Amino acid sequence: MGDEVVIEQNGVELSNVETGTGKEKIVIEEDESADDRPAWDNKIQYLLSQIGFAVGLGNVWRFPYLCQRNGGGAFLIPYLIMLVIEGIPIFHLELAIGQRIRKGSIDVWNQINPLLGGVGVAMVAVSFLVALYYNVIIGWCAFYFFNSFQAPLPWATCPGNGTVMECEKSSPTAYFWYREALDTSESIEDGGGINWKMMLCIFTAWLIVCVCMIKGIKSSGKAIYFTATFPYVVLLIFFFRGVTLEGAADGLAFMFLPKVEKLADPIVWLEAATQIFFSLSVAFGGLISFSSYNPRKNNCTRDAVVVAVINSGTSIFASVVIFSVLGFKALTDSRKCLQEFQDLMEDKVPGFASNNMTVTASNYMDLWGTYNTTDTAIRDFNFGYCSKDGNLNNAVGGTGLAFVVFTEAMNQFYPLEMGPFWSILFFLMLANLGLSSMFGTLEGVITPLRDAGIWKWRKEFLVVLLCVVCFLIGLIFAQYSGSYWLDIFNDYSGTFPLLIIAFFENIAIVYVYGLKRLSDDLEYMTGSRPNLYWKVTWLFLTPLSMLVIFGATIYTEATRTITYKGWDSALGQVVDKGPYPWWGEMMCYVLICLPSLFIPIVFVLRLTGLMPYRGETLKAKQARTVQRGAISKQNLVTDSVTSVSGSMAAFPANGVINPASTAL
């Protein structure tokens, strides 16, 4: 075994350079104070930024919906299993490589292996596409926030005193969302021009993002103290309000009582894995960018576990809040429906009121069966909301949950005069959840472009240019058909491509860069090498789980027709609009394939020499380090021999030391 030496040259400490073995263990510690890379003010700021990026709108409006649809408490079993074998391992890898190399996603992959540079470009592409539509949702939240400063709330009742049939056939909240806010067209083919109200709100959202990010993490890091913590304050307030509502227990029981038979359904496991994967915001490049501003001596292993657990805990806590309120709404709607049937029976059935007959949740269908031939109004009565369990079974996620269902529930909070207060809190919370995620998403574009030398001017100019470009392209979502376009981007730009990127990411780091090198880096950065859990997941469980999801997703998409839903103003409800037009379907495939194509394109261009990488890879740095270590070791040995020879010369041949020769 060779000797170990620790040397320092030109501000670079070469630690544990073991030469002569062929298995050199090398860790390069560059002088971080010598570069001008921005840094976090403190560890709390960094953790809040990572938490804010990971915890987004999906934690509030997608996870509860999936839990409701896939067996309630039983869904938590595959969800937590996938968190352990898929979510946390990939999350850890991204934090580790960002902190180790201290570059954005493009330069990180170029330094690992130039042939893999396309992985970083794909991350930038995905972040850009997601940013286009994600900020539109923040604009929608801003529209509702501004409209909340009035009493009664504009979505509390239908306009026109019963003359607006579109509202009468639906509900005040649904009418306000589809007609007053979006003013949605009947189909995606009917663009209808620009909705100026939405355009102004989207512009406001981009202006806020631009101001918060103009100085990079120096400005967004200050904003994150509010944007990342305020949603938890609001969730806590809604939690105490929700659990004290009548019917909250029914909602929570529906949410958490496990339907174990659902565990036999492979779709449940697929959706659990997909939700864990996407809710942690891996493969966007934002995690790498944020961790690149850390010092190398930082425990990224602990950070990965802490942030991932907080993210999943937030999803579960948000579900408690959502379903306590939905339980209240289900009970309220049921009572309202039964009362309407009671009034109808008293009006149409002689003696019903005088005999003190009462409609209840247990007898309303029996009464209908007895009297449905008495009058057509009784025969055609809509019992859609009379069943409390039926109301809870109507799974609603996404914008329908936030802007229609939850908004309607808040209309019924007592006292009713407090409606604006609850609305302001709710939409301000959603806006902050979106903003903190937007900071990380745009960092996944800005940091790589600057670190790779693609943008050589001031960062402020890049931030402004990026926000302006995104706003202009995003005007497609300000059309009257904008909600249909947003559904396309939401369903296809930030789903399938992320899965492909993360798979290549895992394979590249563990099998190309090498698990041993990664372990050496982690030992240097954190003080300990990866344990058996990390090795087993990185080597086997994580890539295999992603392959299964990949195959299941391809099968699902290949065996179904791509269709969409939209608002029908005549019926006052959301209906199936059928398949997309050919250009809409093509857009779906473009969003799926475009980011992923950068991986093979860059691979071929680098392999053929058409786009050579002119920087220095980690492997080249390490080879240079080994060579310098060997030379320095030889110099040390030579200097030691010379020094010893000089010392021996001070001893006289007779062995008697002259005191004068030792004088200082």
311 is in an annotated binding site: yes
Closest CA to 324 of 256, 424, 418: 256
Which residues have a Cβ under 8 Å from the Cβ of 57 and sit 6 or more positions away? 137, 402, 430, 433, 434, 437
Distance in angstroms (rounded) separating the CA atoms of residues 446 and 466? 8
Nearest to residue 222, comparing CAs of 435, 467, 455, 424? 435
Token pair 């180790």 in the structure block, residue: 100
**Where does residue 398 fall: left (phi above 0), alpha (psi -120 to 50 degrees), or beta otherwise?**
left
570 is in an annotated binding site: no
3-class secondary-structure state, position 564: strand
Distance of CA 550 to the CA centre of its chain: 19
Q: Is 55 annotated as a binding residue?
A: yes
Residue 433 annotated as part of some ligand binding site: yes
Q: How many CB atoms lie within 10 A of CB 264?
A: 9
Judged by DSSP in three states, 365 sits in: helix
Please indicate if the annotation marks 356 as binding a ligand.
no
Was 116 annotated as part of a binding site?
no
Task: Take residue 546 and report the two structure tokens written for it.
Answer: 């992603």
**What is the identity of the amino acid at 580?**
Y
Residue with tokens 């073991």: 18
Q: How far is CA 39 from CA 46, 92, 290, 299, 646, in A?
A: 9, 20, 9, 16, 49
CA distance 149 to 496: 40
Tell me the backbone φ, ψ of residue 247, rounded to 5 degrees.
Answer: 95, -5
The answer to whether 440 is a known ligand-binding residue is: no
Q: 56 — phi, psi (to 5°)?
A: -135, -160
Tell me the binding residues for Na(+): 52, 54-55, 59, 279, 311, 433, 437
Tell me the binding residues: 52, 54-55, 59, 279, 311, 433, 437
